[in-house]
Structure 1
Protein backbone atom coordinates (compact mmCIF):
# COMPACT_ATOMS: atom_id res chain seq x y z
CA UNK A 1 0.00 0.00 0.00
CA UNK A 2 1.40 3.39 -0.99
CA UNK A 3 1.76 6.04 1.65
CA UNK A 4 -0.60 9.04 1.45
CA UNK A 5 1.02 12.06 -0.12
CA UNK A 6 2.21 14.71 2.26
CA UNK A 7 0.54 18.06 1.42
CA UNK A 8 2.86 20.56 -0.19
CA UNK A 9 3.47 23.80 1.63
CA UNK A 10 3.00 25.09 5.16
CA UNK A 11 -0.11 24.46 7.30
CA UNK A 12 -0.55 28.21 7.72
CA UNK A 13 -4.08 29.40 8.56
CA UNK A 14 -5.83 32.76 8.64
CA UNK A 15 -7.31 35.45 6.42
CA UNK A 16 -5.35 37.76 4.15
CA UNK A 17 -7.46 40.68 2.94
CA UNK A 18 -5.96 41.51 -0.42
CA UNK A 19 -6.41 44.82 -2.20
CA UNK A 20 -6.67 43.21 -5.62
CA UNK A 21 -5.30 45.34 -8.44
CA UNK A 22 -7.14 46.14 -11.66
CA UNK A 23 -6.78 43.64 -14.52
CA UNK A 24 -5.86 40.74 -12.23
CA UNK A 25 -8.15 37.73 -11.87
CA UNK A 26 -9.37 36.40 -8.51
CA UNK A 27 -8.09 32.87 -9.19
CA UNK A 28 -4.74 34.32 -10.26
CA UNK A 29 -4.61 36.38 -7.06
CA UNK A 30 -5.30 33.37 -4.84
CA UNK A 31 -2.58 31.37 -6.60
CA UNK A 32 -0.11 34.23 -6.10
CA UNK A 33 -0.86 34.53 -2.38
CA UNK A 34 -0.69 30.78 -1.89
CA UNK A 35 2.71 30.73 -3.59
CA UNK A 36 4.05 33.72 -1.66
CA UNK A 37 3.08 32.25 1.72
CA UNK A 38 3.90 28.67 0.69
CA UNK A 39 0.47 27.66 2.00
CA UNK A 40 -1.02 24.18 1.68
CA UNK A 41 -4.52 25.42 0.97
CA UNK A 42 -6.13 28.70 -0.13
CA UNK A 43 -9.45 30.01 -1.42
CA UNK A 44 -11.35 33.28 -1.74
CA UNK A 45 -14.67 34.59 -0.46
CA UNK A 46 -16.40 36.17 -3.44
CA UNK A 47 -15.00 36.62 -6.94
CA UNK A 48 -13.94 40.04 -8.19
CA UNK A 49 -13.88 40.50 -11.96
CA UNK A 50 -10.44 41.26 -13.47
CA UNK A 51 -11.65 44.77 -14.35
CA UNK A 52 -12.61 45.40 -10.70
CA UNK A 53 -10.22 46.28 -7.90
CA UNK A 54 -10.39 46.21 -4.13
CA UNK A 55 -11.14 43.78 -1.36
CA UNK A 56 -10.63 40.10 -2.04
CA UNK A 57 -10.67 38.12 1.24
CA UNK A 58 -8.35 35.13 0.85
CA UNK A 59 -8.62 32.21 3.26
CA UNK A 60 -5.58 30.08 4.04
CA UNK A 61 -5.57 26.63 5.66
CA UNK A 62 -8.31 26.14 8.25
CA UNK A 63 -9.78 29.52 7.37
CA UNK A 64 -11.18 27.95 4.18
CA UNK A 65 -13.76 26.28 6.45
CA UNK A 66 -15.14 29.75 7.30
CA UNK A 67 -15.45 31.03 3.70
CA UNK A 68 -19.28 30.65 3.59
CA UNK A 69 -19.67 33.05 6.53
CA UNK A 70 -17.77 35.77 4.68
CA UNK A 71 -19.51 35.03 1.36
CA UNK A 72 -22.83 35.71 3.10
CA UNK A 73 -21.69 39.06 4.52
CA UNK A 74 -22.65 42.53 3.33
CA UNK A 75 -20.46 44.19 0.71
CA UNK A 76 -19.77 47.78 -0.28
CA UNK A 77 -18.78 48.82 -3.79
CA UNK A 78 -17.81 52.14 -5.33
CA UNK A 79 -18.66 52.16 -9.02
CA UNK A 80 -18.75 54.41 -12.06
CA UNK A 81 -21.39 54.15 -14.77
CA UNK A 82 -20.69 55.47 -18.26
CA UNK A 83 -23.84 56.53 -20.10
CA UNK A 84 -24.64 56.16 -23.79
CA UNK A 85 -23.74 52.51 -24.39
CA UNK A 86 -24.99 49.12 -23.27
CA UNK A 87 -22.49 46.29 -23.67
CA UNK A 88 -22.67 42.50 -23.80
CA UNK A 89 -20.78 42.14 -20.51
CA UNK A 90 -22.27 45.29 -18.90
CA UNK A 91 -18.72 46.60 -18.43
CA UNK A 92 -15.83 47.89 -20.55
CA UNK A 93 -14.85 44.43 -21.77
CA UNK A 94 -17.92 43.77 -23.90
CA UNK A 95 -19.13 44.80 -27.32
CA UNK A 96 -21.62 47.65 -27.71
CA UNK A 97 -25.17 46.42 -28.28
CA UNK A 98 -27.20 49.62 -27.79
CA UNK A 99 -26.31 53.32 -27.88
CA UNK A 100 -27.98 56.64 -27.19
CA UNK A 101 -27.18 60.36 -27.28
CA UNK A 102 -29.45 60.97 -24.27
CA UNK A 103 -27.74 61.85 -20.98
CA UNK A 104 -29.50 61.86 -17.58
CA UNK A 105 -29.36 64.70 -15.08
CA UNK A 106 -28.30 64.12 -11.49
CA UNK A 107 -31.90 64.79 -10.44
CA UNK A 108 -33.22 62.13 -12.81
CA UNK A 109 -30.69 59.62 -11.49
CA UNK A 110 -31.53 60.29 -7.84
CA UNK A 111 -35.24 59.98 -8.61
CA UNK A 112 -34.93 56.29 -9.55
CA UNK A 113 -32.55 55.08 -6.83
CA UNK A 114 -35.34 54.32 -4.38
CA UNK A 115 -36.64 51.68 -6.79
CA UNK A 116 -33.32 49.84 -6.41
CA UNK A 117 -33.20 49.95 -2.62
CA UNK A 118 -34.47 47.21 -0.34
CA UNK A 119 -35.35 43.72 -1.52
CA UNK A 120 -35.56 43.81 -5.32
CA UNK A 121 -35.72 41.43 -8.27
CA UNK A 122 -32.57 41.45 -10.41
CA UNK A 123 -31.68 39.61 -13.63
CA UNK A 124 -27.97 38.66 -13.55
CA UNK A 125 -25.81 39.65 -16.55
CA UNK A 126 -25.48 37.30 -19.52
CA UNK A 127 -21.78 37.10 -18.69
CA UNK A 128 -22.09 35.77 -15.13
CA UNK A 129 -21.33 32.60 -13.19
CA UNK A 130 -25.02 31.70 -12.90
CA UNK A 131 -25.66 28.10 -13.98
CA UNK A 132 -28.18 27.49 -16.77
CA UNK A 133 -28.97 23.79 -17.33
CA UNK A 134 -25.70 22.90 -15.66
CA UNK A 135 -23.54 25.34 -17.64
CA UNK A 136 -22.14 28.72 -16.63
CA UNK A 137 -23.95 31.62 -18.29
CA UNK A 138 -20.65 33.20 -19.36
CA UNK A 139 -19.65 30.02 -21.21
CA UNK A 140 -22.93 30.04 -23.13
CA UNK A 141 -22.58 33.79 -23.82
CA UNK A 142 -19.07 33.30 -25.21
CA UNK A 143 -20.50 30.75 -27.63
CA UNK A 144 -22.95 33.37 -28.87
CA UNK A 145 -26.03 32.02 -27.13
CA UNK A 146 -28.57 34.40 -25.62
CA UNK A 147 -30.09 32.64 -22.63
CA UNK A 148 -33.05 33.50 -20.47
CA UNK A 149 -31.71 34.03 -16.95
CA UNK A 150 -34.51 34.18 -14.39
CA UNK A 151 -34.65 37.14 -12.04
CA UNK A 152 -33.74 36.56 -8.42
CA UNK A 153 -34.17 38.34 -5.14
CA UNK A 154 -31.28 40.47 -3.87
CA UNK A 155 -31.09 43.08 -1.14
CA UNK A 156 -29.72 46.59 -1.52
CA UNK A 157 -29.21 48.17 1.90
CA UNK A 158 -27.97 51.54 0.68
CA UNK A 159 -27.48 53.15 -2.74
CA UNK A 160 -26.04 56.64 -3.12
CA UNK A 161 -25.18 58.88 -6.05
CA UNK A 162 -21.77 60.31 -5.10
CA UNK A 163 -21.49 62.69 -8.04
CA UNK A 164 -21.46 63.29 -11.78
CA UNK A 165 -17.94 64.24 -12.94
CA UNK A 166 -19.37 65.07 -16.39
CA UNK A 167 -22.52 64.42 -18.41
CA UNK A 168 -21.23 61.03 -19.54
CA UNK A 169 -20.49 59.47 -16.14
CA UNK A 170 -21.96 59.06 -12.68
CA UNK A 171 -20.31 57.72 -9.51
CA UNK A 172 -22.16 55.62 -6.94
CA UNK A 173 -21.69 53.69 -3.72
CA UNK A 174 -23.79 50.64 -2.89
CA UNK A 175 -24.06 48.44 0.18
CA UNK A 176 -25.64 45.16 -0.77
CA UNK A 177 -26.21 41.55 0.17
CA UNK A 178 -25.01 38.27 -1.29
CA UNK A 179 -25.57 37.66 -5.00
CA UNK A 180 -26.01 41.27 -6.11
CA UNK A 181 -24.51 42.14 -9.50
CA UNK A 182 -23.37 45.76 -9.67
CA UNK A 183 -23.02 45.41 -13.46
CA UNK A 184 -26.73 44.63 -13.61
CA UNK A 185 -27.50 47.82 -11.68
CA UNK A 186 -25.64 49.88 -14.31
CA UNK A 187 -27.50 48.10 -17.10
CA UNK A 188 -30.89 48.62 -15.47
CA UNK A 189 -30.21 52.28 -14.59
CA UNK A 190 -29.37 52.98 -18.22
CA UNK A 191 -32.45 51.26 -19.56
CA UNK A 192 -34.80 53.02 -17.17
CA UNK A 193 -33.22 56.42 -17.83
CA UNK A 194 -33.42 55.86 -21.59
CA UNK A 195 -29.71 56.41 -22.15
CA UNK A 196 -28.14 52.95 -21.70
CA UNK A 197 -25.12 52.42 -19.47
CA UNK A 198 -22.31 50.12 -18.39
CA UNK A 199 -19.76 49.86 -15.59
CA UNK A 200 -16.51 51.68 -16.34
CA UNK A 201 -15.04 51.48 -12.84
CA UNK A 202 -15.66 49.13 -9.92
CA UNK A 203 -13.97 48.83 -6.54
CA UNK A 204 -15.01 46.73 -3.54
CA UNK A 205 -14.17 48.40 -0.22
CA UNK A 206 -15.91 46.18 2.35
CA UNK A 207 -16.82 42.52 2.82
CA UNK A 208 -18.25 41.92 6.28
CA UNK A 209 -16.64 41.64 8.74
CA UNK A 210 -13.51 43.06 7.06
CA UNK A 211 -12.96 46.76 6.40
CA UNK A 212 -10.66 48.98 4.35
CA UNK A 213 -8.05 49.11 7.11
CA UNK A 214 -7.58 45.35 6.76
CA UNK A 215 -6.64 45.50 3.08
CA UNK A 216 -3.08 44.81 1.96
CA UNK A 217 -1.91 45.94 -1.51
CA UNK A 218 -0.45 43.12 -3.59
CA UNK A 219 2.62 45.27 -4.27
CA UNK A 220 3.42 45.35 -0.53
CA UNK A 221 3.42 41.56 -0.41
CA UNK A 222 5.44 41.12 -3.59
CA UNK A 223 8.01 43.61 -2.26
CA UNK A 224 8.83 41.15 0.54
CA UNK A 225 10.22 38.70 -2.03
CA UNK A 226 13.49 40.65 -1.82
CA UNK A 227 14.05 39.28 1.71
CA UNK A 228 16.54 36.48 1.05
CA UNK A 229 16.14 34.62 4.33
CA UNK A 230 13.03 32.44 3.90
CA UNK A 231 12.17 32.27 7.60
CA UNK A 232 12.32 36.05 7.89
CA UNK A 233 10.37 36.53 4.66
CA UNK A 234 7.55 34.16 5.67
CA UNK A 235 7.34 35.75 9.12
CA UNK A 236 6.91 39.16 7.47
CA UNK A 237 4.14 37.79 5.26
CA UNK A 238 2.43 35.98 8.15
CA UNK A 239 2.24 39.29 10.01
CA UNK A 240 -0.49 40.38 7.55
CA UNK A 241 -2.75 37.44 8.46
CA UNK A 242 -5.97 37.95 10.42
CA UNK A 243 -7.08 35.21 12.81
CA UNK A 244 -9.51 32.68 11.35
CA UNK A 245 -12.10 33.40 14.03
CA UNK A 246 -12.54 37.01 12.88
CA UNK A 247 -14.69 35.71 10.03
CA UNK A 248 -17.29 34.54 12.56
CA UNK A 249 -17.89 37.78 14.44
CA UNK A 250 -21.60 37.72 13.53
CA UNK A 251 -22.09 34.47 15.51
CA UNK A 252 -22.39 33.98 19.30
CA UNK A 253 -19.02 33.22 20.89
CA UNK A 254 -18.21 31.02 23.86
CA UNK A 255 -14.82 31.05 25.58
CA UNK A 256 -13.64 27.67 26.82
CA UNK A 257 -10.68 26.15 28.65
CA UNK A 258 -8.01 23.79 27.32
CA UNK A 259 -9.76 20.62 28.52
CA UNK A 260 -12.98 21.63 26.77
CA UNK A 261 -11.04 22.51 23.63
CA UNK A 262 -9.53 19.02 23.60
CA UNK A 263 -12.98 17.43 23.90
CA UNK A 264 -14.34 19.50 21.02
CA UNK A 265 -11.39 18.66 18.79
CA UNK A 266 -12.13 14.99 19.46
CA UNK A 267 -15.66 15.60 18.20
CA UNK A 268 -17.34 15.47 21.62
CA UNK A 269 -19.88 17.96 23.02
CA UNK A 270 -19.15 20.05 26.10
CA UNK A 271 -21.48 21.18 28.89
CA UNK A 272 -22.02 24.94 29.19
CA UNK A 273 -22.25 26.39 32.68
CA UNK A 274 -22.80 29.85 34.08
CA UNK A 275 -25.56 32.43 33.94
CA UNK A 276 -24.10 34.08 30.81
CA UNK A 277 -23.91 30.88 28.77
CA UNK A 278 -26.03 31.02 25.58
CA UNK A 279 -29.17 28.87 25.82
CA UNK A 280 -29.90 28.12 22.16
CA UNK A 281 -28.07 28.89 18.91
CA UNK A 282 -28.13 27.15 15.54
CA UNK A 283 -24.56 28.29 15.02
CA UNK A 284 -21.92 29.57 17.41
CA UNK A 285 -18.16 29.32 17.75
CA UNK A 286 -15.85 28.38 20.59
CA UNK A 287 -12.42 29.85 21.28
CA UNK A 288 -9.63 28.92 23.69
CA UNK A 289 -6.68 31.21 24.39
CA UNK A 290 -8.01 33.53 21.70
CA UNK A 291 -7.91 30.86 18.99
CA UNK A 292 -10.83 29.31 17.12
CA UNK A 293 -11.55 25.73 18.25
CA UNK A 294 -14.91 24.82 16.72
CA UNK A 295 -18.11 25.93 15.04
CA UNK A 296 -21.20 24.21 16.35
CA UNK A 297 -24.71 24.46 17.77
CA UNK A 298 -25.93 25.17 21.28
CA UNK A 299 -28.88 23.38 22.80
CA UNK A 300 -29.85 21.57 25.98
CA UNK A 301 -27.00 23.17 27.88
CA UNK A 302 -24.39 21.77 25.47
CA UNK A 303 -22.16 23.00 22.69
CA UNK A 304 -22.01 20.36 19.96
CA UNK A 305 -19.21 20.76 17.40
CA UNK A 306 -19.87 20.63 13.65
CA UNK A 307 -16.46 21.76 12.44
CA UNK A 308 -13.25 21.71 14.43
CA UNK A 309 -10.02 23.60 13.92
CA UNK A 310 -6.39 22.75 14.67
CA UNK A 311 -4.61 23.90 17.78
Structure 2
Protein backbone atom coordinates (compact mmCIF):
# COMPACT_ATOMS: atom_id res chain seq x y z
CA UNK A 1 0.00 0.00 0.00
CA UNK A 2 1.32 3.43 -0.94
CA UNK A 3 1.97 5.59 2.09
CA UNK A 4 0.53 9.10 1.90
CA UNK A 5 2.62 11.99 3.19
CA UNK A 6 1.09 14.49 5.57
CA UNK A 7 1.52 18.05 4.38
CA UNK A 8 3.62 20.08 6.77
CA UNK A 9 1.57 22.87 8.33
CA UNK A 10 3.24 26.27 8.40
CA UNK A 11 2.66 28.65 11.28
CA UNK A 12 2.58 32.47 11.59
CA UNK A 13 5.81 32.74 13.56
CA UNK A 14 7.14 36.22 14.43
CA UNK A 15 10.54 37.05 15.87
CA UNK A 16 14.31 37.07 15.49
CA UNK A 17 16.68 34.14 15.87
CA UNK A 18 20.36 34.85 16.50
CA UNK A 19 22.07 31.95 14.76
CA UNK A 20 25.71 30.90 14.85
CA UNK A 21 25.95 29.99 11.16
CA UNK A 22 28.03 26.87 10.56
CA UNK A 23 30.99 26.62 8.21
CA UNK A 24 30.12 25.49 4.69
CA UNK A 25 26.46 26.49 4.77
CA UNK A 26 25.12 29.42 2.79
CA UNK A 27 23.03 32.01 4.61
CA UNK A 28 19.95 30.83 2.72
CA UNK A 29 20.59 27.18 3.62
CA UNK A 30 20.83 28.15 7.30
CA UNK A 31 17.64 30.18 7.01
CA UNK A 32 15.68 27.41 5.30
CA UNK A 33 16.77 24.86 7.91
CA UNK A 34 15.64 27.07 10.81
CA UNK A 35 12.45 28.07 8.99
CA UNK A 36 11.65 24.37 8.59
CA UNK A 37 12.40 23.68 12.27
CA UNK A 38 10.03 26.49 13.29
CA UNK A 39 7.41 25.50 10.71
CA UNK A 40 7.34 29.22 9.90
CA UNK A 41 5.34 30.72 7.05
CA UNK A 42 7.78 33.51 6.29
CA UNK A 43 11.48 34.10 6.94
CA UNK A 44 14.48 36.05 5.75
CA UNK A 45 18.12 36.58 6.66
CA UNK A 46 19.76 39.93 7.30
CA UNK A 47 22.67 39.95 4.90
CA UNK A 48 24.80 37.25 3.36
CA UNK A 49 27.59 35.47 5.20
CA UNK A 50 29.79 33.50 2.80
CA UNK A 51 29.72 29.70 3.21
CA UNK A 52 33.30 29.76 4.58
CA UNK A 53 32.29 32.32 7.22
CA UNK A 54 30.75 31.41 10.56
CA UNK A 55 29.15 33.36 13.36
CA UNK A 56 26.34 35.76 14.05
CA UNK A 57 23.52 35.67 11.50
CA UNK A 58 20.21 37.22 12.65
CA UNK A 59 17.26 35.47 11.02
CA UNK A 60 13.88 37.19 10.84
CA UNK A 61 10.49 35.49 10.79
CA UNK A 62 7.02 36.84 10.13
CA UNK A 63 6.60 40.51 11.03
CA UNK A 64 10.26 40.82 11.97
CA UNK A 65 11.16 40.60 8.25
CA UNK A 66 9.66 44.10 7.87
CA UNK A 67 12.70 45.51 9.68
CA UNK A 68 15.43 43.26 8.26
CA UNK A 69 16.79 46.06 6.04
CA UNK A 70 18.14 47.86 9.12
CA UNK A 71 20.43 44.89 9.75
CA UNK A 72 21.87 45.26 6.25
CA UNK A 73 22.73 48.87 7.03
CA UNK A 74 24.29 48.12 10.42
CA UNK A 75 27.98 48.17 11.36
CA UNK A 76 29.68 44.80 11.74
CA UNK A 77 32.51 43.17 13.69
CA UNK A 78 34.57 40.16 12.61
CA UNK A 79 37.48 37.99 13.61
CA UNK A 80 39.45 37.55 10.38
CA UNK A 81 42.28 35.09 9.85
CA UNK A 82 44.74 36.03 7.10
CA UNK A 83 47.11 33.54 5.50
CA UNK A 84 50.30 35.46 4.66
CA UNK A 85 52.51 34.78 1.67
CA UNK A 86 49.92 33.73 -0.92
CA UNK A 87 47.16 35.29 -3.00
CA UNK A 88 44.26 33.33 -4.50
CA UNK A 89 41.76 33.77 -7.32
CA UNK A 90 38.88 34.32 -4.89
CA UNK A 91 40.70 36.17 -2.13
CA UNK A 92 40.01 33.29 0.27
CA UNK A 93 41.05 29.70 0.85
CA UNK A 94 38.54 28.34 -1.67
CA UNK A 95 40.40 29.80 -4.66
CA UNK A 96 43.44 28.65 -6.59
CA UNK A 97 46.80 30.07 -5.57
CA UNK A 98 47.91 32.90 -7.85
CA UNK A 99 51.21 34.02 -6.35
CA UNK A 100 53.38 33.10 -3.39
CA UNK A 101 56.09 35.02 -1.59
CA UNK A 102 58.78 34.09 0.91
CA UNK A 103 58.79 37.63 2.27
CA UNK A 104 57.39 37.90 5.79
CA UNK A 105 56.60 41.18 7.55
CA UNK A 106 57.56 42.08 11.10
CA UNK A 107 55.14 43.46 13.68
CA UNK A 108 56.10 47.05 12.86
CA UNK A 109 55.08 46.54 9.23
CA UNK A 110 51.82 44.90 10.33
CA UNK A 111 50.96 47.80 12.61
CA UNK A 112 51.72 50.28 9.81
CA UNK A 113 49.50 48.40 7.35
CA UNK A 114 46.64 48.26 9.84
CA UNK A 115 46.93 51.96 10.55
CA UNK A 116 46.86 52.67 6.80
CA UNK A 117 43.50 50.96 6.35
CA UNK A 118 41.89 52.26 9.55
CA UNK A 119 39.37 54.99 8.77
CA UNK A 120 37.68 55.65 5.44
CA UNK A 121 39.07 54.13 2.28
CA UNK A 122 37.97 53.35 -1.27
CA UNK A 123 37.44 49.61 -1.52
CA UNK A 124 36.83 47.76 -4.79
CA UNK A 125 34.29 44.94 -4.27
CA UNK A 126 35.60 41.47 -5.21
CA UNK A 127 34.52 39.65 -8.35
CA UNK A 128 33.50 36.72 -6.19
CA UNK A 129 30.59 38.55 -4.56
CA UNK A 130 26.80 38.67 -4.78
CA UNK A 131 26.77 42.22 -6.14
CA UNK A 132 24.70 42.42 -9.30
CA UNK A 133 25.84 43.50 -12.79
CA UNK A 134 23.09 43.64 -15.41
CA UNK A 135 20.93 41.43 -13.22
CA UNK A 136 23.52 38.73 -12.56
CA UNK A 137 25.73 38.32 -9.48
CA UNK A 138 29.39 39.07 -10.07
CA UNK A 139 30.47 35.57 -9.00
CA UNK A 140 28.72 34.13 -12.05
CA UNK A 141 30.88 36.26 -14.32
CA UNK A 142 33.98 35.34 -12.30
CA UNK A 143 33.27 31.62 -12.65
CA UNK A 144 32.89 32.11 -16.40
CA UNK A 145 36.25 33.87 -16.57
CA UNK A 146 34.69 37.27 -17.36
CA UNK A 147 36.15 40.32 -15.64
CA UNK A 148 33.79 43.20 -14.81
CA UNK A 149 35.08 46.63 -13.84
CA UNK A 150 33.72 47.56 -10.41
CA UNK A 151 33.65 51.11 -9.04
CA UNK A 152 35.31 51.59 -5.66
CA UNK A 153 33.03 52.23 -2.71
CA UNK A 154 33.84 54.33 0.32
CA UNK A 155 33.71 52.18 3.44
CA UNK A 156 34.92 52.75 6.99
CA UNK A 157 37.17 50.60 9.13
CA UNK A 158 36.55 51.85 12.66
CA UNK A 159 39.24 49.78 14.33
CA UNK A 160 41.56 46.82 13.73
CA UNK A 161 43.22 44.95 16.57
CA UNK A 162 45.84 42.23 16.20
CA UNK A 163 44.71 39.14 18.11
CA UNK A 164 47.65 36.99 17.09
CA UNK A 165 50.58 37.16 14.66
CA UNK A 166 52.95 34.46 13.46
CA UNK A 167 55.16 33.97 10.45
CA UNK A 168 52.37 32.76 8.18
CA UNK A 169 49.18 33.90 9.90
CA UNK A 170 47.61 37.14 11.10
CA UNK A 171 44.38 37.17 13.13
CA UNK A 172 42.52 40.47 13.33
CA UNK A 173 39.52 41.86 15.19
CA UNK A 174 37.84 44.20 12.68
CA UNK A 175 35.08 46.74 13.32
CA UNK A 176 33.69 48.09 10.06
CA UNK A 177 30.80 49.77 8.28
CA UNK A 178 28.22 48.13 6.07
CA UNK A 179 29.45 47.15 2.62
CA UNK A 180 32.93 46.17 3.80
CA UNK A 181 34.40 43.07 2.20
CA UNK A 182 36.84 41.46 4.62
CA UNK A 183 38.29 39.35 1.81
CA UNK A 184 39.23 42.53 -0.03
CA UNK A 185 40.60 44.10 3.16
CA UNK A 186 42.75 40.98 3.66
CA UNK A 187 44.08 41.23 0.10
CA UNK A 188 44.76 44.95 0.50
CA UNK A 189 46.65 44.40 3.76
CA UNK A 190 48.67 41.62 2.12
CA UNK A 191 49.55 43.88 -0.79
CA UNK A 192 50.56 46.64 1.61
CA UNK A 193 52.82 44.19 3.46
CA UNK A 194 54.40 43.10 0.19
CA UNK A 195 53.89 39.38 0.79
CA UNK A 196 50.32 38.96 -0.35
CA UNK A 197 47.55 37.42 1.73
CA UNK A 198 44.17 35.76 1.50
CA UNK A 199 41.35 35.18 3.95
CA UNK A 200 41.54 31.72 5.53
CA UNK A 201 38.88 32.17 8.23
CA UNK A 202 36.09 34.60 9.08
CA UNK A 203 33.74 34.78 12.06
CA UNK A 204 31.16 37.53 12.55
CA UNK A 205 30.98 38.50 16.21
CA UNK A 206 28.70 41.57 16.27
CA UNK A 207 26.08 43.36 14.22
CA UNK A 208 23.57 46.06 15.16
CA UNK A 209 24.09 45.58 18.88
CA UNK A 210 23.72 41.79 18.76
CA UNK A 211 26.67 39.69 19.91
CA UNK A 212 27.99 36.22 19.10
CA UNK A 213 27.53 35.19 22.76
CA UNK A 214 23.75 35.44 22.26
CA UNK A 215 23.62 32.96 19.37
CA UNK A 216 22.57 29.34 19.11
CA UNK A 217 23.90 26.69 16.74
CA UNK A 218 21.74 24.81 14.26
CA UNK A 219 22.39 21.56 16.16
CA UNK A 220 21.30 23.12 19.47
CA UNK A 221 18.19 24.57 17.86
CA UNK A 222 17.31 21.24 16.25
CA UNK A 223 17.58 19.44 19.60
CA UNK A 224 14.85 21.65 21.11
CA UNK A 225 11.12 21.11 21.19
CA UNK A 226 8.97 23.39 19.06
CA UNK A 227 7.90 25.34 22.16
CA UNK A 228 11.53 25.80 23.18
CA UNK A 229 12.39 27.05 19.69
CA UNK A 230 9.58 29.59 19.87
CA UNK A 231 10.83 30.77 23.26
CA UNK A 232 14.29 31.31 21.78
CA UNK A 233 13.01 33.99 19.38
CA UNK A 234 13.55 37.63 20.23
CA UNK A 235 10.67 40.07 19.62
CA UNK A 236 10.59 42.04 16.38
CA UNK A 237 11.33 45.34 18.13
CA UNK A 238 14.77 44.02 19.15
CA UNK A 239 15.81 44.99 15.61
CA UNK A 240 14.97 48.62 16.43
CA UNK A 241 16.46 48.82 19.92
CA UNK A 242 18.69 51.77 18.98
CA UNK A 243 15.73 53.97 18.01
CA UNK A 244 13.81 56.27 20.36
CA UNK A 245 10.41 55.00 21.48
CA UNK A 246 6.98 56.55 22.06
CA UNK A 247 3.83 55.12 23.63
CA UNK A 248 0.31 56.01 22.46
CA UNK A 249 -3.00 55.88 24.29
CA UNK A 250 -5.81 53.64 23.05
CA UNK A 251 -7.41 56.27 20.79
CA UNK A 252 -4.15 57.22 19.10
CA UNK A 253 -3.24 53.55 18.75
CA UNK A 254 -6.52 52.87 16.96
CA UNK A 255 -5.90 55.71 14.49
CA UNK A 256 -2.33 54.74 13.75
CA UNK A 257 -3.16 51.08 13.20
CA UNK A 258 -5.82 52.17 10.70
CA UNK A 259 -3.06 53.89 8.73
CA UNK A 260 -3.92 57.41 9.93
CA UNK A 261 -1.52 60.06 11.23
CA UNK A 262 -1.65 61.10 14.89
CA UNK A 263 -1.00 64.45 16.53
CA UNK A 264 1.95 64.03 18.85
CA UNK A 265 3.18 67.18 20.64
CA UNK A 266 6.96 67.12 20.80
CA UNK A 267 9.85 69.56 20.91
CA UNK A 268 11.63 67.45 18.31
CA UNK A 269 11.11 68.64 14.77
CA UNK A 270 11.69 65.52 12.69
CA UNK A 271 12.58 61.98 13.74
CA UNK A 272 12.80 59.59 10.79
CA UNK A 273 12.53 56.42 12.84
CA UNK A 274 10.55 55.84 16.03
CA UNK A 275 9.54 52.66 17.79
CA UNK A 276 5.83 52.98 18.55
CA UNK A 277 3.96 51.16 21.30
CA UNK A 278 0.29 51.36 22.18
CA UNK A 279 -2.84 49.79 23.66
CA UNK A 280 -4.27 47.40 21.06
CA UNK A 281 -7.29 46.53 23.20
CA UNK A 282 -5.75 43.95 25.47
CA UNK A 283 -5.04 46.48 28.19
CA UNK A 284 -1.33 45.89 27.72
CA UNK A 285 1.13 48.01 25.77
CA UNK A 286 2.25 46.27 22.58
CA UNK A 287 4.80 47.05 19.90
CA UNK A 288 3.05 48.54 16.86
CA UNK A 289 5.90 49.17 14.45
CA UNK A 290 7.91 51.99 12.94
CA UNK A 291 6.70 55.58 12.55
CA UNK A 292 8.08 59.00 11.57
CA UNK A 293 7.60 62.24 13.49
CA UNK A 294 7.25 65.36 11.37
CA UNK A 295 6.09 68.75 12.72
CA UNK A 296 4.38 67.18 15.75
CA UNK A 297 2.52 64.65 13.63
CA UNK A 298 3.24 60.93 13.82
CA UNK A 299 2.99 59.05 10.53
CA UNK A 300 2.88 55.23 10.31
CA UNK A 301 5.74 53.89 8.19
CA UNK A 302 5.96 50.13 8.78
CA UNK A 303 3.49 48.48 11.14
CA UNK A 304 3.16 44.88 12.26
CA UNK A 305 0.56 42.97 10.22
CA UNK A 306 -0.80 41.59 13.51
CA UNK A 307 -1.92 45.07 14.63
CA UNK A 308 -3.03 46.63 11.33
CA UNK A 309 -6.81 46.98 10.99
CA UNK A 310 -8.49 46.60 7.62
1:43-192 to 2 correspondence within 5 Å? 43-164=44-165, 166-192=166-192
Q: What is the TM-score when the length of structure 2 is the normalising length?
A: 0.90
1:1-311 to 2 correspondence within 5 Å? 9-164=10-165, 166-224=166-224, 233-273=225-265, 278-288=268-278, 289=284, 291-309=286-304, 310-311=306-307
Deviations along 1:1-39, one digit per CA (max 9) or x if unpaired, are xxxxxx961111111010111111100000011100011
Q: C-alpha separation between the residues in 2 aligned to 1:32 and 1:290? A: 33
Q: Which moved more, 1:124-133 or 1:19-28?
A: 124-133
Deviations along 1:246-272, one digit per CA (max 9) or x if unpaired, are 111222211123332222121011222
Confirm or deny: 8 A CA contact 2:119 2:157 kept in the other structure: yes
Give runs of ≥4 in structure 1 deviating > 3 Å: none
The alignment's C-alpha RMSD in Å is 1.6
Deviations along 1:267-294, one digit per CA (max 9) or x if unpaired, are 0112224x6x744212212023453202
Q: Quote how far apart the aligned CAs of 1:134 are.
A: 3.1
Helix, strand or coil for the counterpart of 1:46?
Answer: coil
Confirm or deny: 8 A CA contact 1:30 1:58 kept in the other structure: yes
Q: Which moved more, 1:182-191 or 1:142-151?
A: 142-151
Q: C-alpha separation between the residues in 2 aligned to 1:172 and 1:258? A: 51
Cα distance change on mapping 1:95 and 1:291 into 2, 3 Å: farther
Q: C-alpha separation between the residues in 1 aligned to 2:141 and 2:31? A: 26
Q: C-alpha separation between the residues in 2 aligned to 1:287 and 1:159? A: 39
Helix, strand or coil for the counterpart of 1:202?
Answer: strand
Q: C-alpha separation between the residues in 1 aligned to 2:115 and 2:106? A: 16
Helix, strand or coil for the counterpart of 2:68?
Answer: helix
Q: What is the TM-score when the length of structure 1 is the normalising length?
A: 0.90
Helix, strand or coil for the counterpart of 1:239?
Answer: helix
Q: C-alpha separation between the residues in 2 aligned to 1:169 and 1:291? A: 50
Helix, strand or coil for the counterpart of 2:159?
Answer: strand
Q: Quote how far apart the aligned CAs of 1:161 are.
A: 1.4
Q: Quote how far apart the aligned CAs of 1:300 are.
A: 2.3
Confirm or deny: 8 A CA contact 1:209 1:246 kept in the other structure: no
Confirm or deny: 8 A CA contact 1:45 1:59 kept in the other structure: yes
Helix, strand or coil for the counterpart of 2:122?
Answer: strand
Confirm or deny: 8 A CA contact 1:15 1:58 kept in the other structure: yes
Confirm or deny: 8 A CA contact 1:127 1:141 kept in the other structure: yes
Equivalent residue pairs, number: 294
Deviations along 1:125-157, one digit per CA (max 9) or x if unpaired, are 110112223321101001011222221111111
